[in-house]
Structures are given as C-alpha cells and as structure tokens.
Amino acid sequence: MHADTSPSDAATVNPPVRWMGVIRCIGPGLIVAGSIVGSGELIATTKTGAEAGFSLLWLILLGCVVKVFAQIELGRYAIISGKTTLLALDEVPGPRIKGRGNWLVWYWVVMWVASISQLGGIVGGVGQAMAISAPLSQIGRDYNSAADAEQLDQFERFQNSTVGQSGEDGKSSNAFWQSYDEKYTLGRSRNPSAPTAAAARTMPQDAAIWAILISVITSIVLVNGRYGMIQSLSTVLVASFTVLTCLNLFLLQGQADFRVSLAEFWSGLTPGPPQDVAGGNSIGTALATFGIIGVGAAELVMYPYWCLEKGYAKFAGKNDGSEAWVKRANGWMRVMRFDAWGAMVIYTFSTIAFYLLGAAVLHRVGLNPEKSDMVRTLAVMFRPVFSQWAAAVFLFGAFAVLYSTFFVANASHARTFSDAMRVVGLIDDDEATRQKWIRILSGLFPLLCVVVYIAFPAPAQLVLLSGVAQGIMLPMLAGAAIFFRYRRCVPGLAPGKLWDAMLWLSAAAMLVTGMWTVFDKVQGYWGQ
C-alpha cells in the first residue's frame, strides 16, 4: 500500500474570488509552457513547417488545443485526491506486477527514456547556440565561417532567383563547397598560415563542450533550486523569446518574398496531404511533432505535480465530503482551469508563429534544420527581418527557450522518476525519501542528457524520437483521464455534458494520433 498523500485540513486556504487574485495564484501552466516552447515549438514545429510548408497548420493548431481537456481532468483528480500522477495512474485497471506498478507506469518508464534523449537534443541545441555565438576554438570559428557562408549563399540564391524557388538555378551544396575549397586553397597560397579547407569543414567540438558546461551548471542549480525559482526563470525566458518571435513574424509581412498571404494561411487550416520538400518526411515529422507540441504526454504527466507543489490540493484540504470542502475544491479547480487555458493561449500563439516562420522562410528557401547545423538553420528564419543581426537575435532567443525547456524538464523528470521509484517499490514509500531522491536526480539527469547528446549528436532526431514515444502514450493518458472522470470524480466537482463531450473528442483525437504514429513507424520499418 502506498502512503497517504492526501492533503490535511491544517493548511486549507480559501480560493481567490476576484480575477486579479486568480492571476496571482497561477503558475503550473507557465512552467509547462516553459517546457513546451523549447523542443516542440522551436525545433519540431519549425521543422514541420520547413518540410510541409503551410499545409499542416491545422494539425499543429489541433495539437495545441485538443489535449488541454485531458490535462485539466488529470489536474482535477490531483486536487480531489492529493495524489501525484504516477500514483494516480497506478489505479487505472489493466495488467500489473503486484507491488511494482501497472502497465501505464511501466510504459511511462519507456517514454522517460525517450524524453531523456529529447533533452539530450535540447542541450545539444543550447550547445550549438553557444558554439555559434561564442566558439571556443579556431576550428569552431573556421567551421562557423564556412557554414554561415553556405547558408548565406543559399538564402541569397533564393532572393535572386527569378522563379522564386531555391536550388533550381543556383549552385548545389557540393558546388558551393567546391568553390569554398578553391577559395581556401587560393588563400593558403597567399598566406600559408591560413586554415586549410579541410579544417574549415571539420566538425568542431565546441557545441559538445558548451553542452557539458551548461549541463554541469544546471545540475548544480537544480540541486539547490525551489519551485518559485523554476517558475520565475522559465516565465522570463519563454516570454522574452515569444514576444521576439511574434514581432519577427509581424515584420516579415513587409517582405515581398516571405510574407504569409491570407490564402496560404487559410489553406493551412484545411486538412490535406502535404508536399515534402527539403529532403523531409513531413507526415512522420508532423506525427512526432503532435506528440510534443502543446501539452505533450510528458507535460500531461507532469502538470499535476506542479499543481501539487503550487498548493492547489493542500489549499483545498482533505476530501471529507463536506460542503465547505466542495466549495474550496471548486474554487481551486477554477484557478487551475484558468492556469491551464491561459498557458494554452500563450504556447498556441508561439507555436503558430514558429510554424509560419518555418513555412514562410525555411520551406521557401529549401532549408531543413538537421543535426549539427540545426540552430544555424533555424536562425535563417530571422534573416529577412533582422538581416545581419539575425544570428545574434535568434541565438539569444534560442538559448532562452531551449535552456528553459532543458531546465524545467530536468526538474520535472527528477520529480516524476523519484515518484516512479516509489510506485514500483525501489525506494521507501515516504515523502522524505522521495524528496531526497528528487535532489539526487536533479543533479544526475542533466549530466545523463549531455552523455546522450555526445553519443548521438543529432538534436532534431532526438527530439522527434521523444515525440513518437509521447504520441503513443497520448491515448493511454486520455483513457486514464476518462477513468478519473467517471470512476474517481466526486459529487459537486463533476463537469457538465459539454465538457464531457469535449473530453471524449480529445481522447478520440489522441487515440487516432497514437495509432497513426505506430502505423507510420511500422510502415516505415517494413518499407526499408
């Protein structure tokens, strides 16, 4: 049996009634938004836009909105019971190992492995941003010069093209590097101390070194961190780049080659098959993206933990069936709903902005953010507006949102994994032991992430791998949310029929996405 995690009545607090009071009590959704914007929006969403153009905007918008209903239902049960997500999921019927958790808990472990890979990609992206803005070696500076020149060459060919499509009448990448090698050879004939062409094209280790440094610093900060610091830091980082991205998209409308027309926008809201460009598989990318944009499976699992740490369940008090408890619980449910929907508005705006930038700039130019040049490619989205300042502007923003995701997600994983250890019986079932392991894992997980990145330095692919695993778990969490709604909800806190209908639609969308993801990957495997 698990220890009683229900809140006591000693610390009950009446919920705020006025809107300003409600706003002062929000926070869990802002932390979730901080986790979402980095990997889902900046990397996966823009990659989808780069590969599919405007045609999958409808899927991106659906992915942001549809999962909030399950999120709030999981939060409702957290307020009712005071239980963490994994303790709650362990109550869902199905196969289980006695005393060691059920099928949902064990699949969460599988998803956690993929999520750590995702964070490896995230810290790799942060390392790339730092390596571009502050290279640590001469090889790094030479590589930056060569890679920047290649992308600038492709961008300028697009702008100078009479047909408006990059690559149709310009040099290929191989031709670029041939001319670049010739330039370096000529330079060395005049200055023997100049770097060779091979040196300029050698992959530097600067990004890996920066990733290691950032991981170590994050490890130290998280071990000593608290909820308030996590909430404040993630909010500031995400808000700064969200505003910058929306400004960039607005100013882009003044660029004839890159503006988003109303016809293109509306066409993106009409479901239909995309046309792949830039060597991508847009359907596969979009499916993986759906799993992590908006409230992904990892955020659905994590959201109740932040609600508990914020105090919603504690303030409502232990469920004693009294009218006073029902009134308090309903008040804190109102705060939680405002928190969840408010965060949804924030990350939906940023998601649409990132997608449209990927479609309007990267798709048209013919660039696809990949591997070691992912961050450099993403920076091209800012070039039409900010010109020579594009790299500096974007690198600030990329560091802000990518590091916010890395920071928040590691803090989240420390809490969920320690809880999983308790559920499967690896540690004692008491809160003091769990808190001790949260501190230990807060220091360990950032280091584990950077090891993953060094072993597999392909950030975009690592992020999409997690998207696939989360996409598969989405229907499982939807089923759990329905179970809590009809088997664990209490009189006085049950929602209305319209909410129930939307919850079922949300579950259906997540089921279709999960099945589609599995089908796409199996088909891809057998088609190889």
pLDDT in tens, 459-475: 767 777 777 788 888 89
Taking residues 73-77, what's their average pLDDT?
A: 96
Class of domain 20-94+103-160+205-526: mainly alpha
Taking residues 112-141, what's their average pLDDT?
A: 85
H helices of 424-496, in order, are 431-455, 459-487
Taking residues 370-395, what's their average pLDDT?
A: 77
Tell whether the model's pLDDT for residue 292 goes beyond 80: no
Tokens linked to 258:
């890159």
Q: Place 121 in a pLDDT band, splitting at 50, 70 and 90.
A: confident
Other CB atoms within 10 A of residue 519 CB = 11
Tell whether the model's pLDDT for residue 177 goes beyond 50: no
Taking residues 508-528, what's their average pLDDT?
A: 67
Tell whether the model's pLDDT for residue 489 goes beyond 90: yes
Beta-carbon contacts of 376 under 8 Å, excluding residues fewer than 6 positions away, are 128, 132, 147, 148, 151, 391
Taking residues 347-360, what's their average pLDDT?
A: 87
Tell whether the model's pLDDT for residue 186 goes beyond 70: no
Question: What confidence score (pLDDT) does residue 436 get?
Answer: 92
Gap between the Cα atoms of 326 and 489, Å rounded:
12
pTM, to two decimals: 0.78
Taking residues 51-63, what's their average pLDDT?
A: 84
Beta-carbon contacts of 102 under 8 Å, excluding residues fewer than 6 positions away, are 89, 90, 92, 94, 95, 96
Q: Place 499 in a pLDDT band, splitting at 50, 70 and 90.
A: very high
The better pLDDT of the pair 202, 427 is held by: 427
Phi and psi at residue 96, to the nearest 5°: -150, 160
Gap between the Cα atoms of 478 and 246, Å rounded:
32
Taking residues 133-141, what's their average pLDDT?
A: 83
Gap between the Cα atoms of 419 and 108, Å rounded:
12
Q: Place 395 in a pLDDT band, splitting at 50, 70 and 90.
A: confident
The better pLDDT of the pair 137, 338 is held by: 338
The better pLDDT of the pair 136, 79 is held by: 79
Gap between the Cα atoms of 488 and 326, Å rounded:
15
Gap between the Cα atoms of 368 and 401, Å rounded:
20
Among candidate residues 3, 36, 102, 112, the one with its CA nearest the CA of residue 480: 102
The better pLDDT of the pair 524, 379 is held by: 379
Tell whether the model's pLDDT for residue 337 goes beyond 50: yes
Question: What confidence score (pLDDT) does residue 503 get?
Answer: 96
The better pLDDT of the pair 361, 202 is held by: 361
Model confidence pLDDT, tens digit, residues 218-240:
898 888 866 566 657 666 766 77
The better pLDDT of the pair 520, 435 is held by: 435
The better pLDDT of the pair 523, 183 is held by: 523
Gap between the Cα atoms of 132 and 379, Å rounded:
11
Question: What confidence score (pLDDT) does residue 145 get?
Answer: 78
The better pLDDT of the pair 180, 343 is held by: 343
Model confidence pLDDT, tens digit, residues 399-416:
877 887 888 889 889 999
Question: What confidence score (pLDDT) does residue 324 get?
Answer: 93
Tokens linked to 107:
């699949």
Q: What percent of the chain has pLDDT over 70?
A: 78
Mean pLDDT of the chain: 80
Tell whether the model's pLDDT for residue 3 goes beyond 50: no
**Ranges 322-331, 363-372, 512-521: which has the least confidence:** 512-521
Model confidence pLDDT, tens digit, residues 82-104:
999 999 999 999 999 988 999 99
Question: What confidence score (pLDDT) does residue 4 get?
Answer: 46
Question: What confidence score (pLDDT) does residue 374 get?
Answer: 75
Break the chain down into helix, strand, coil percent, rounded to 5.
75, 0, 25
